Amino acid sequence: MSDLDLLLSVPTLTELVEQFPSFTDPLPYTKLFQQGGMEQADGDRIVFEKLQNDRRLGAVRGHESEAYSATAPNRKMVEQGLIHAAEKEIIHPKELFLRAGPGTFMRANAENVIVRAVRRIVSRLLRTREYVCSQLMLNTAGASLANSNTAFDAGAVTVANTVTIDGGLQTIAAGAAWDVAATKMLSAENQLLAFLRKYEENGFEAGTFIINRELAAAISGNTEAQTWLVNNGGVTIETIQRALISGATRQGEAGMRDPFVGSVFSGLGGIPDWYVWDHGFVNRAGTFTRYHTDGLGVMLPEDLSGVLGFAEGPVFVPSSNQVIGDAEQAADLFAMRRGIQVYAYRTVDDTGNIVIVGRDTFAPLVRNELGILNVTGLST
């Protein structure tokens, strides 16, 4: 069999087709938390200080009067556990070689097999980070990571984690859906202006509004929004259609372009950036699920450093040493690293399988829950 025949064989062609691309960089919600700053956790928990500023007026006093004694706000330390994610694949020896026809040699294909396995594992770990970050951003109660959660495969979760938010996120319900032309989403008291006022009451200036394609389609059908789009940028319906089917929102492909590039709605209502995110994952039932909930928008401030954060904890990678000769040197059996780590080892048996293991320890941080405003009740 010639090289060409081998490359054009049915097994080779089917194995070289990848239906969805792998990820090497964090996804949008994870990047959002990381924009608030990266922290390193030395132990198994992350502790951060929650500061409170004062907006009261300074007291008016006379020359000889003593200054008014104001009570300083309490300093509060928030303690949060780290999330541990681990994934592995077992590679059998026969998978390390290209399949060949009768009477021909098997060609080594180990590099491609291992690289693809690593890419799959890293992609799963990155999607897990994205899931936790999105749940923490969208839910007032935080994120629940348990075996009963329909997002994870049965038996995949061994330790149930509940990532709570100190104080809980604030929510405000829309007074009317955005699907009728008569809805005054820019000027009516129960629409966008009310959301902005709620935000400013908490001491922030709105910088970002995150929605999905369902809400983007509803906004584009609003008469007042259409007028704004045409007057400020000459935006046509074709432009909006291209924005709604852009690479960043295709199924499972959030990294096709920069997700933080503003959409055609950026500037609408005085909010500089509108992001349309519609990427997703596959749940335990094999159903494609989106990270962003329909009928819900998230409003964030311009400065994320005081609101969000992301912590990476230690990951212990085994070394090649198998026997502890000196108990004092036991620590040399592991290397401590941060971020997503992938390593491999060979099973000690007559089969000699190769096991690819990926581990990650992380925690998204909500430093100030008043900086995140969930706008509920939006629908088409």
Cα(133)–Cα(191) distance, integer angstroms: 27
Query: Per the domain annotation, does 39 fall within a domain?
Result: yes
Pairing mode, strands 314-318 and 45-50: unpaired
Residue numbers of the domain that contains 258:
22-50+76-313+357-376
Place of tokens 């294909």: 109
pTM of the model: 0.87
Query: Per the domain annotation, does 333 fall within a domain?
Result: no
Query: Per the domain annotation, does 282 fall within a domain?
Result: yes
Tokens representing residue 246 in the block: 């852009």
Residue 15 DSSP symbol: H
Strand partners, 296: 376
Query: Per the domain annotation, does 239 fall within a domain?
Result: yes
Cα(354)–Cα(327) distance, integer angstroms: 28
Cα(92)–Cα(353) distance, integer angstroms: 5
Q: Give CA separation, 12 vs 105, 108, 210, in Å.
A: 15, 13, 42
Tokens representing residue 225 in the block: 């929004």
Cβ neighbors of 131 (< 8 A, separation 6 or more) are: 143, 151, 281, 291
Tokens representing residue 162 in the block: 């509940």
Query: Per the domain annotation, does 83 fall within a domain?
Result: yes
Cα(331)–Cα(337) distance, integer angstroms: 13
Q: The domain that contains 182 carries what CATH number?
A: 3.30.1930.10
* Number of domains comprising the chain: 1
Amino acid type, 21 = P
Q: What tens-digit pLDDT sequence spans the chain (380 residues)?
A: 455 555 555 555 555 566 677 888 899 999 999 999 998 888 888 998 887 778 889 999 999 999 999 888 888 888 989 999 999 999 998 888 766 556 666 667 788 888 889 999 999 999 999 999 999 999 998 899 998 888 999 999 999 888 989 889 999 988 877 777 767 777 777 788 889 999 999 889 999 999 998 888 888 878 888 888 888 767 777 777 666 654 444 444 444 467 888 888 888 888 999 998 988 999 999 999 999 999 899 999 998 988 999 999 999 998 877 777 777 778 888 888 999 999 998 888 888 899 999 999 999 999 999 999 999 988 76
DSSP string, 320-376: S----SSGGGGGGGEEEEES-EEEEEE-SSSS--EEEEEEEEEEEEES-GGG-EEEE
Name the CA radius of gyration of the chain, rounded. Answer: 26
Residue 178 DSSP symbol: S
Query: Per the domain annotation, does 338 fall within a domain?
Result: no
Amino acid type, 300 = L
Amino acid type, 313 = G
Cα(152)–Cα(284) distance, integer angstroms: 5
Query: Per the domain annotation, does 275 fall within a domain?
Result: yes
Using an 8 Å Cβ cutoff, are 358 and 342 in contact?
A: yes
Cα(179)–Cα(220) distance, integer angstroms: 9
Query: Per the domain annotation, does 207 fall within a domain?
Result: yes
Cβ neighbors of 188 (< 8 A, separation 6 or more) are: 175, 176, 194
